[in-house]
Amino acid sequence: MLRAVICVSGGGTNLQAVLDAIDNGRITNAEIIAVISNNAGAKALDRAEKHGIQGILMSPKNYGDRDAFNRAFTEKMCELNPDLIVLAGFLVKIPEEMVARFSNRIINIHPALIPSFCGVGYYGLKVHEKVLERGVKVTGATVHFVNEGMDEGPIIAQKAVEVQEGDTPEVLQKRVMEQAEWILLPAAIDDIANGRIKVAGDKVVRVSST
């Protein structure tokens, strides 16, 4: 059974998609052992509580400096010792030590088609604002493994979503969630839990089931 920790900063809609997928059998051989948020008011913590899952507040604001937070965050994750760490709208940079200790065991969902609209400053609604400013016709979402770079790790899966005339950032964000994020993230977790993918160098390889 794959033991996963999900890190969330806000409402936790991707968390809910994962919870629903576990409940209805679209994710098998996996369980969520904890939900971590840097935001005390995050609805994600309420979602975790309703499912009987441990909720943990880990905010840089509660530590003397970023180094102290990074140490505490890494120590907490090592204490939990998950098989997989899932960043589902987590707006805190993962400490390099944690990335090293959990190499190829951290995944992230990004609301664009990497390498477009990613990197420093591209998160949440800001991504969709930039997509509309640029005038592209297709956007989407990407699930990828996390490495030391920003949105640079091996790509697990992507799904395209059409940008429609008259879209606002909020409308586009909702469509990307519904048509891509809530599909890709549960599928990726299920694939990892059941050994269907592995990392080979800087690429993700699908393992044959035969």
Catalytic annotation, residues: 110
How is residue 176 written in tokens? Answer: 């990307």
Q: DSSP for 36-70?
A: EES-TT-HHHHHHHHTT-EEEE--GGGSSSHHHHH
CA 81 from chain centre, in angstroms, equals 18
Instruction: Check residue 179 and report its DSSP letter.
Output: I
Determine how many CB atoms are found less than 10 A away from the CB of residue 122: 20
Instruction: Give yes or no for a contact between 101 and 78, defined as CB atoms under 8 angstroms apart.
Output: yes
Q: Give start and end residues of each alpha helix (H) in the chain.
A: 13-23, 43-50, 66-80, 96-101, 125-134, 169-176, 182-193
How is residue 30 written in tokens? Answer: 């996996």
Task: Quickly tell me which residue has 């959990």 as its tokens.
Answer: 102
Residue 123, SS3 per DSSP: coil
